[in-house]
Amino acid sequence: QKEVEQNSGPLSVPEGAIASLNCTYSDRVSQSFFWYRQYSGKSPELIMSIYSNGDKEDGRFTAQLNKASQYVSLLIRDSQPSDSATYLCAVKDDYKLSFGAGTTVTVRA
Amino acid sequence: DGGITQSPKYLFRKEGQNVTLSCEQNLNHDAMYWYRQDPGQGLRLIYYSQIVNDFQKGDIAEGYSVSREKKESFPLTVTSAQKNPTAFYLCASSTGNRVHQPQHFGDGTRLSIL
């Protein structure tokens, strides 16, 4: 089974700060990478996808991918209390998504 | 509205009982998936289907069964052989197996043992 590892957390950041989440994966042939946000008791919601090396920005979110290092990260700028959730890293090869265990982020007001 | 509908939201199973979780989508997606999530863990793939009348086992298929008779529907049966069924079950779908297509999730079903 492909392995996807995330920094264990929980991660506590003050409001307005940058939250940095990291993810490494074991399968070099993985082609697509996704970040999902999951609020407590709810289902995962897609927030970012990235396929090529480098940075991809969408609003306050930036995903970074380095395939040589098998590493993908998510930055949340200007963190808000509404960003408090668990963030799941998912790695896709063909049809299958493999998920990390998630990093729980708490934004302190 | 287009989306993925899972029912029921909560389900209780008695010893020796089979229960079926419903998943319906009106997104015209070809591929559908079932995942299980245990507290503090990521999602684990139970079964997936890329086309009607065809499905494959995922990483933890033992004690589960599925069918895919219609494109819109992918029900999951938790059989009595699944000894630890208490979990959050999530159904997802995507537009076929093109690698860059993300999966989108329904609201989930929480299953507990009575």
pLDDT tens column, B58-112: 999 999 999 999 999 999 999 998 889 999 999 999 986 666 889 999 999 999 9
List, for chain A, all residue ranges whose pLDDT scores fall below the cut of 50.
none
d(Cα A88, Cα A18) in Å, to the nearest integer?
Answer: 17
Per-residue confidence band for B1, with pLDDT thresholds at 50, 70 and 90: low
Give the distance from residue B112's alpha carbon to the nearest chain A alpha carbon, in angstroms. 15
pLDDT at A30: 83
In what side-by-side order are the strands of the sheet with A71-76?
A: A4-6, A19-25, A71-76, A61-66, A54-58
Q: Strand, helix or coil at B91?
A: strand
Interface test with B, best of A95, A98, A99, A104 (most B CBs within 10 A): A95
Q: How confident is the model at residue B43 (pLDDT cuts 50, 70, 90)?
A: very high
Q: How big is the CA angle at A88 (ends A85 and A93), to the nearest 5 degrees?
A: 160
> In chain B, which residues have their Cβ closer than 8 Å to the Cβ of A88?
42-43
Residue B26 has pLDDT above 80, yes or no: yes
Q: Least CB-CB distance to B43: which of A42, A51, A99? A: A99
Neighbour-count burial of A88, counting CB atoms closer than 10 A to its CB (0-12 exposed, 13-18 middle, 19+ buried): buried
Question: Which of these, B91, B111, B112, B108, lies nearest to B31 by C-alpha position?
Answer: B91
Tokens 């090396």, located at residue: A53
Residue A73 is predicted with a pLDDT of 97
pLDDT band at B113 (very low <50, low <70, confident <90, very high): confident
> Which stretch of DSSP H or E encloses residue B77?
strand B76-78
Contacting A residues, span 45-104, partner chain B, CB-CB under 8 Å: 45-46, 49, 51, 88, 92-97, 99-102
**Closest by Cα among B41, B38, B39 to B82:** B38
Q: What is the pLDDT of residue B97?
A: 61
Residues 6+ apart with CB under 8 A from B1: none
Across the interface, which of A1, A97, A102 has its CB nearest the CB of B103? A97
